[in-house]
Every structure is written in C-alpha cells, then in structure tokens.
Homo-oligomer: A and B are copies of this chain.
Amino acid sequence: VSSEALSEATHRQANLTKPAGSLGLLEKVGIRLAGIAGQCPPPVPEGAVVGVFAGDHGVCAQGVTPWPQEVTVSMLLNMVAGGAAVNVLSRQAGAKVMLTDVGVLGDYPASDGVRDRKVARGTRDLSVEPAMTRDEALRAIAVGIEAADEAVAGGARVLLTGEMGIGNTTASSALISVFTGADVSSVTGRGAGVDSEALARKVAVIERALALHAPDAADPVGVLASVGGLEQGAIAGFILGGAAHKVPVILDGVIACASACVAVALAPEVRGYLIAGHAGTEPGITEALRHLELDALVDLGLRLGEGTGAVLALPMVQASARILGEMATFEDAGIAAG
C-alpha cells in the first residue's frame, strides 16, 4: 500500500465539491483503493471475480445445522446452473463467478463450471479430532492463491470472496474466537437458520473443540488445521493472492471474516487490501471486523453467504473510486470551500 497515494487521496477528498466527510464510508474506501493502486485517483476496479470455494465439514455429525450435507453438492450444481443468489447478483453487478471445489464430500458429474481442486472429501469432525492435517490446510491455502493468480491473470482488478459449505459457520466462529480472543458464545450465531437449542449445541461443540486442540493464534496454519475448514483455507489463500497482486479483496460475511483473520495472522500487511462487504447478523462478523479494523459497506440483514454481501458492495466500491476520479474540485467549480 502506497502511503503517498493514501495521502494524495485524503487531500483530494477534502477538495471535491462536497462538505468535508459528507460521503462517509465511501470516502474511506476511495482512499484505500488509491493506496492499493499506488495512484490517485485510483482506477475503477473492474473485471470483478467472485471466488466461490465449496467444502464440507465433519462437524455436521454433531447436529450444528438443520441442513443435510448433500445440500453442499446440490447448491454447487445450482451455482453451476446459474440459479443461486450469488449468480443472480453477479450478473446484476457485472461480476464473474469462479467456482472451486476445495473439499466437497459428495460426488457429482464433472463440469466445466467447477474447478476441481479437492484437497479432501470434507474435513474431519473438529470436535473430536483436528479438522485437517497441516498439509491439507496448506494445500487449501494454495488452492486459493492459485485461484487469485488465475483471476488476476484473466484481468480481474478486484476479487470478492464467496463460499458454499453446510456447517461452515461453526468452523468460522471457532476461527474468529481464536484470532480475536472473544468468547465462543459472543461470536457464534444461527448460521443459515438454527433454533435456540441448536445454537446452544453449536456453542458447546466449538468450546469442546477449542478445549481439545488449544489452538495457538501465533500458529495460524495450526489453528486452521485444527478448527477451520477447507474453504476457509482457500479463501485465506485467495486474499493473500489478491493482496500479493495489489488487488483489493471484498469480503462477504462470517466465513470470509474468519478466513481474513487467518490471512492477516499469516501476513499482517494484507489488512490494507481488505474491504468489508457486509455487516453481520452473525455476531462473529462484528467481532472479526473490529479485529480487522474494517467498517462494512452493506447491512441488509443478509445471512446467506455464497458471496452475496460482497457482490452487493461491489458497485459501492467502484463508485468510491469514480468519486475520486470524476468529481469536480471546488477550484474547478469556482466555489470557496465551506
């Protein structure tokens, strides 16, 4: 991130024809884009790619979600067919969905619509053993880095994170608890829709897992392997890859936030490349965004994931760059600054 471009953009915001600060969060995001691009005004981030990573979770054996694991495959195929929410919203926003199987349990017919990078057939049950080996965790991260490389090579100048995986809010809450230090109960929510009893079970399962593995936040790969998930690893890699290419990465919901905690633990300088798409109904989002020092652009009460919150934020991110590039300054307009 270029401090020169950051400071130039901050100065420019103050001279555009508007009361100082009156574009709120849009101003901050514009400044961040300038820092990332190393120029002010920053280019409008085009060629958006939503990296959707699908995986399964052994912890489903503990009844943490009402949805059967087969739904991961069904939704993957729904995405291939273009019928999922993330597809619809991406068409609206002009973004491309890039779908990767990093760890789906079930079988399905091979398809050009899915990149097969299966590291394992789902994770193991994190409440009784490590979810992954260290090697599997590293391979999941590598899958995400490769996807970012491919997206950027194809012209993407902004990456968005997405996912599909029944049970993946459980692993996400575990990761967020470890990296933020917050209590499990304060970062665990209802996911795609569990009742109060199941929520209590989910909290207990995560607490048991943390007691069992005693994960150490100073060893991010170890944390990911013990209580994370394959798609969380891949998203962390996708973020690392985007930042390495100096491309902003828009986070979706709680799974993205958990993955970003992993990425930032591995490489703190990644933080400057992140933009928070959606605020949470999932309580873990709030805690993770505080840890990541990010304010979310969108707050529509979404709790779907897939990348939907990130895609809805994309036009705002693009708008924030355009503001710096196209608005008149007070001098241009012949107005004395107020």
Q: A110 interface residue, CB < 8 Å from B?
A: no
Of the 9-residue stretches A1-9, A19-27, A51-59, A257-265, which lies at the interface with chain B? A19-27
In the complex, which of the residues B17, B20, B85 contacts A327, with contact meaning CB atoms closer than 8 Å? B85
Number of copies: 2
Nearest CB on B from A322, distance (A): 5
CB-defined contacts of A18 to chain B, threshold 8 Å? 85, 304
Report yes or no: A91 in contact with B326, Cβ–Cβ below 8 A: yes
Determine how close the nearest CB of chain B comes to the CB of A151; give it in whole angstroms.
22
Nearest B residue to A190 via CB reads: B19
> What's the least CB distance linking A134 to chain B, in Å?
33
Which of B74, B302, B327 interacts with A24 by CB under 8 Å? Answer: B302
Q: Are B71 and A22 in contact (CB under 8 A)?
A: no
Complex: A182 Cα to B16 Cα, angstroms: 35
Chain B residues within an 8 Å CB radius of A327: 83-85, 88
Which residues of chain B are near A328, meaning CB under 8 Å?
78, 81, 83-84
Q: Of residues A66, A93, A297, A298, which shows the largest number of chain B Cβ atoms within 10 Å of its Cβ?
A: A298
Chain B residues with Cβ under 8 A from A301's Cβ?
A: 24-25
The segment from A96-104, A154-162, A311-319 that touches chain B is A311-319
B193 touches A23 (CB 8 A): no
For A321, the closest partner residue in chain B by CB is B92
The yes or no answer to A212 lying at the interface (CB within 8 A) is no
Q: Are B338 and A66 in contact (CB under 8 A)?
A: yes
Would A83 and B17 be within 8 Å (CB), given that A93-B315, A333-B75, A334-B74 are in contact?
yes
Task: Among B74, B88, B92, B303, point to the contact of A315 (Cβ < 8 A).
Answer: B92
Q: Which residue of chain B lies nearest to A336 when distances are taken between CB atoms in the complex? A: B68
Query: Is the beta-carbon distance between B318 and A78 smaller than 8 angstroms?
Result: no
Q: Smallest Cβ distance from A73 to chain B, in angstroms?
A: 10
Specify which chain B residues have a CB less than 8 angstroms from the CB of A326 in the assembled complex.
82-83, 87-88, 91
Q: Closest residue of chain B to A83, judged by CB? A: B328
In the complex, residue of chain B having the shortest beta-carbon distance to the beta carbon of A308? B23
Q: How far is the CA of A302 from the CA of B21 in the complex (A)?
A: 8
**A192 on the B face (CB < 8 A):** yes
Contact A25–B300 (Cβ < 8 Å): yes
| 17 interchain pairs, CB-CB under 8 A | A18-B304, A19-B304, A22-B302, A22-B303, A24-B302, A24-B303, A26-B300, A26-B302, A26-B312, A75-B333, A75-B335, A78-B333, A81-B333, A83-B328, A89-B323, A92-B318, A312-B316
Other 11 A-B pairs with CB < 8 A, given A23-B85, A78-B328, A312-B319: A16-B85, A17-B83, A24-B303, A26-B302, A26-B312, A66-B338, A71-B338, A77-B333, A78-B332, A83-B332, A312-B316
